[in-house]
Amino acid sequence: MKNKILSALLFITLFFTIGAPALVGAASGTAALDRCIISPANAARLVNMEVECTYTAIDGSPISGTPTEKVACPYSNNDGNCGACCLLSAVFNLTDWIFIGLMTISALMIIYGAYCFVMAGADPEKAKTGKNLLMYAAIGIAVAFFSRALPTLVKLVMGV
């Protein structure tokens, strides 16, 4: 019974952290494949990583400075960095979702592991289960924080 409840919680968590945003993104329609859209947060991250990108407004007009709203990076620009900007923006989005998903699952594991550990009483098997869940949650949190370093590793591999 506990395995079914835990499996259901895991499925619901995965759906809301991965499935729902994918459905919303698919429902928004497809854009032209001549540019990528970059959020202001990702544009600020690109500036912090010292990646030069040529941005245009969504309507195609040029802009200068750090964007304050969604911008486009046209694939036809001459600086050749648009592919790197778009790839890093996608990696930012992916690692954000990985971080949120792993932290959510780890929090649930900490709660359930602490419950098992506290309610174990004299049963060493339940105490071991709780201890293992807490250890796996700590590993999940470490992997979640490592996912934040992936954009820097991608930048290093690309040589941008």
Query: pLDDT per residue over 87-131, tens digit each?
Result: 888 888 889 998 999 999 999 999 999 998 898 888 888 889 999
Structural domain includes residue 2? no
Structure confidence at residue 26 as a pLDDT band (50, 70, 90)? low
Structural domain includes residue 105? yes
Secondary structure letter of residue 121 according to DSSP: T
Angstrom distance (rounded) from CA 77 to CA 79: 6
Above 60 in pLDDT, residue 67? yes
Structural domain includes residue 111? yes
Tally of structural domains, the chain: 1
Angstrom distance (rounded) from CA 156 to CA 89: 15
Highest mean pLDDT among 20-29, 46-55, 86-95, 140-149: 140-149
Instruction: Look at residue 61 in the predicted model and tell me its pLDDT.
Output: 77
Structural domain includes residue 86? yes
Above 80 in pLDDT, residue 3? no
Structural domain includes residue 72? yes
> Does the global pTM surpass 0.85?
no
Above 90 in pLDDT, residue 160? no
Structural domain includes residue 118? yes
Structure confidence at residue 79 as a pLDDT band (50, 70, 90)? low
Evaluate whether 55 touches 77 at the Cβ level (below 8 Å): no
Structural domain includes residue 24? no
Instruction: Look at residue 90 in the predicted model and tell me its pLDDT.
Output: 86
Evaluate whether 108 touches 66 at the Cβ level (below 8 Å): no
Structural domain includes residue 60? yes
Q: Which domain holds residue 88?
A: 31-158
